[in-house]
Amino acid sequence: MEKLILISFVVLSFGFSKIESFRTAQYPDLIEFNGTEYSLSTNPLEPYFEKNPDKRPQWTSTALYRGYIGHFGIIDSTLILTDISQPRRVKEKDGKTIFKNISIKKSIFPEIDTIKIDWYSGILILPYGERIKYIHSGYASEYSNYILLEIKNGKFKRHKNYRHKEFLRFKEKQYSEFKKTETYKNQFEHIKNNYPESNKKFIEEFLKDHIINYTSEFLDEQ
């Protein structure tokens, strides 16, 4: 029961239309940062496709419910979309068939070369290194290292580096600061009112676990 409630919370709070995307591990978006490509545990294009559903690429895969893989970079301190792709079966010269990301950017933005993601404000999560804990749900798996990028209206502000346990401590501190805000009170009441069967402990644990989705900047300066 609590799992179904939690999934519903996420859908209600973040506007995702497909519950299944939280039940199945997903292909991540990708971002190049300081010359290295990382997976993203965030999807900066989703606000655009929520407002423009007719533009969303069609794709049938439980591992890619959003229908695309976004490729991003930080160029001149700005979050830029460099490509959009879908994994397709491609036959190699030796006859073997492999999955390869094929660009579909021109079919979505045919007249735009440089796409600034100026609608996005939030904390981008770049996990890397050893996978410490696999969780078959969205981007819930835990890794040995994390880079966090703070973005405001598409502009890169700063970043932080964490080991696994440091990242968990960061989330604890972020949550402690978040509890002091009006946004926390509003979100708590929002969940409580929509799901009156949930107790205080469950709501707080949910908000703590998803704290980076609820905050758009680093609240702890340490």
Residue appearing with tokens 């209600």: 12
For residue 150, is pLDDT > 90? yes
Q: What is the pLDDT of residues 56-93, one digit of tens each?
A: 998 777 778 889 999 999 999 999 999 999 988 887 77
Length of the chain: 222
Q: Do the domain assignments include residue 131?
A: yes
Q: How many independent structural domains does the chain possess?
A: 1
Residue appearing with tokens 């423009």: 52
Q: Do the domain assignments include residue 172?
A: yes
User: How far lies 214's CA from each of 14, 35, 57, 107, 209, in Å?
Assistant: 9, 29, 27, 32, 10
Q: Give the burial string for 130-168 (b: 16+ CB within 10 Å, else e).
A: eeeeeeebbbeeebebbbbbbbeebbbeebeebebeebe
> In whole numbers, what is the pLDDT of the chain averaged over residues?
84
Q: Do the domain assignments include residue 168?
A: yes
Q: 181: pLDDT confidence band, cut at 50, 70 and 90?
A: very high
Q: Do the domain assignments include residue 193?
A: yes
What's the pLDDT at 5?
A: 40
* 8 Å CB contact between 216 and 122: yes
Q: Do the domain assignments include residue 220?
A: no
Q: What's the whole-number mean pLDDT along residues 97-125?
A: 90
Strand partners, 110: none
Domain with 53, as residue range(s), is 2-214
Which helix (H) or strand (E) segment is 81 a member of?
strand 78-91
Q: Which of 213, 20, 192, 51 is nearest to 124 (CA)?
A: 213
For residues 2 and 12, give the distance between their C-alpha atoms in angstroms, rounded to a whole number. Answer: 15
206 vs 137, more confident: 206
For residue 203, is pLDDT > 60? yes
* 8 Å CB contact between 79 and 119: no
Q: What's the whole-number mean pLDDT along residues 34-63?
A: 90
* 8 Å CB contact between 106 and 116: no
Q: Do the domain assignments include residue 17?
A: yes
Which 8-state DSSP code applies to residue 57? P
Q: Do the domain assignments include residue 219?
A: no
What's the pLDDT at 214?
A: 86
65 vs 156, more confident: 156
For residue 215, is pLDDT > 60? yes
Which helix (H) or strand (E) segment is 84 a member of?
strand 78-91
Q: Based on the number of CB atoms within 10 Å of its own CB, is 215 exposed (0-12), middle (13-18) or buried (19 or more)?
A: buried
CA dihedral 56→60→61→66, nearest 10 degrees, is 10
Q: Do the domain assignments include residue 222?
A: no
User: How far lies 204's CA from each of 23, 37, 138, 172, in Å?
Assistant: 21, 34, 21, 11
Percent of the chain residues past pLDDT 70, beyond the cut: 84
